[in-house]
Structure 1
Amino acid sequence: MEYIFFENASDGIYIHDIGGYFIKINKVGLEIFGCPDKEIIGSHVSEWLSPASVEMVKEDTLNWSVTR
């Protein structure tokens, strides 16, 4: 069920590990970044996102890890 939602979402969705490295990205996300998944999986979010977005990712990751 989650896979169907993830792959068929109308928004770009990605999953990264606690270090900020991409683990998974859906097809809309790939279209947004304009590359195949083999190019983005394993790369760091800082290679693809603006510095402000990277800071938000860091804050969200910290908040998520503290509350879990």
Structure 2
Amino acid sequence: MECASCDAGIDHCHGTLVVHPDGGFAECTDPACEDGDRVRHGLIVDCRGVGGGCGCTAAPRKTLLRQAS
């Protein structure tokens, strides 16, 4: 089986882009990938869906405090 994007010369990545909720940080599962742009990735997942979880989701969430009026 051949990749249609490779055959067409389209800039893309075969890895999965894992997106983290804090600030939109993303990393690719392909160690050769140098560009975490969403457009280049056909597979994009939220880090909370990764098997075994992600360390960034274990961090306490920031709580917004409002001054009583």
Q: Same fold (TM over 0.5)?
A: no
Whose radius of gyration is greater, 1 or 2? 2
When normalised by structure 2's length, the TM-score is 0.29
Structure richer in helix, relative to its length: 1
Question: Which structure shows the bigger proportion of residues in strand conformation?
Answer: 2
- If asked which structure has higher relative contact order (CA below 8 Å, sep 6+), I would say 2
